[in-house]
Amino acid sequence: MSAEASVSYAALILADAEQEISSEKLLAITKAAGANVEDVWASVYAKALEGKNLKELLFSFAASAPASAGGAAAASGAAAGGAEAAAEEEVEEEKEESDDDMGFGLFD
């Protein structure tokens, strides 16, 4: 496992335990797990996460993730569905216009 992944998992463990994320704690967890991590990685992660709530940060990423086509789009609400329907209509109109630009239509 890479050093970055080890420190990331250690940060998640500390966040789950509602502990402060510090360089020393990150190194202690990674050492206990048997991972060889340089001090610089623990320091970088600790400084990057200083004063931030990692759980809230992760939940905000999950909440703002783009909805994929299909079932996830339907789950995102009627507003997103309306926007997608409008986008589909525009695409269909563009296809129809491209036939007109050629000088012939489907039934000409």
Distance CA 58, CA 95 (A): 40
Tokens 């012939």 belong to 104
Return the CATH fold of 3-63. Arc Repressor Mutant, subunit A (1.10.10)
Neighbours of 41 (CB within 10 A): 20
Under 8 Å between Cβ of 27 and 39: yes
pLDDT digits (tens, 9 = 90+) for 49-106: 888 888 887 778 777 766 555 444 444 444 445 555 555 555 555 555 555 556 666 6
Distance CA 77, CA 86 (A): 15
Under 8 Å between Cβ of 27 and 34: no
Write down the pTM of the prediction: 0.53
pLDDT digits (tens, 9 = 90+) for 29-41: 999 999 989 999 8
Q: Estimate the crossing angle of helix 54-63 against helix 3-16, to 10 degrees.
A: 100
Domain range list for the chain: 3-63, 71-101
